[in-house]
Amino acid sequence: MDKLKKVLSGQDNEERNGFEEVIETSSLSWGTRIKGFIACFVIGVACSILGTCLLWVPGKGLALFAIFYTIGNVSSLGSTFFLMGPLKQLKKMFEMTRLIATIVMLLCLILTLCAALWWKIKGLALLFCILQFFAMAWYSISFIPFARDAVKKCFSTCIS
């Protein structure tokens, strides 16, 4: 458990500058971080489920779905800020290994809201929600060592 704490808090033999040390000393305790992570993640899941339930509301259902589903994904993504800290999480998001996944995920979040709220094209909004789901899943598994390779191999085996 101590190794996990060190890795997630950025203390795993990395050189830290003075700014990061200031952030480290003023940061939350490990217990508070876990509670914040769980709270944000549960709120994210609840918003996504609520959005799915609101999909069938006549008239504004699609817009409500897109809004709540996107808020749910953003909240779930934000929950990891509690574990690693916002600065380290943002650095990891834009590393070369997951840069494309991050850009596609953020683009899908924005395009979902645009299609539902401004363009009002239902089919496109649903397509972007589906793409948002897959982009978020692909981004999430990028943090698991060799998970992307396993998924690629699984799909290539199923196709051939």
Q: What is the pLDDT of residue 25?
A: 47
The mean pLDDT value for 106-131 works out to 92
Q: What is the pLDDT of residue 142?
A: 86
pLDDT at 46 over 90: yes
Q: What is the pLDDT of residue 8?
A: 59
pLDDT at 22 over 50: no
CB atoms within 10 A of CB 16: 12
At 60-80, the pLDDT tens digits run 888 899 999 999 999 999 998
Query: How confident is the prediction for the chain on average, in pLDDT?
Result: 85
The mean pLDDT value for 137-153 works out to 89
Q: Of the candidates 86, 97, 93, which has an alpha carbon nearest to the alpha carbon of residue 109?
A: 93
Please tell me the pTM assigned to this model. 0.75
Q: Of the candidates 93, 88, 98, 86, which has an alpha carbon nearest to the alpha carbon of residue 7?
A: 88
Measured between alpha carbons, how far is 120 from 12 in angstroms, rounded to an integer? 47
Sequence spans of domains, the chain: 2-159
The mean pLDDT value for 104-132 works out to 92
Q: Of the candidates 102, 100, 101, 128, which has an alpha carbon nearest to the alpha carbon of residue 114?
A: 128
Q: What is the pLDDT of residue 3?
A: 58
Q: What is the pLDDT of residue 5?
A: 63
Higher pLDDT, 111 or 56: 111
Percent of the chain's residues with pLDDT above 70: 83
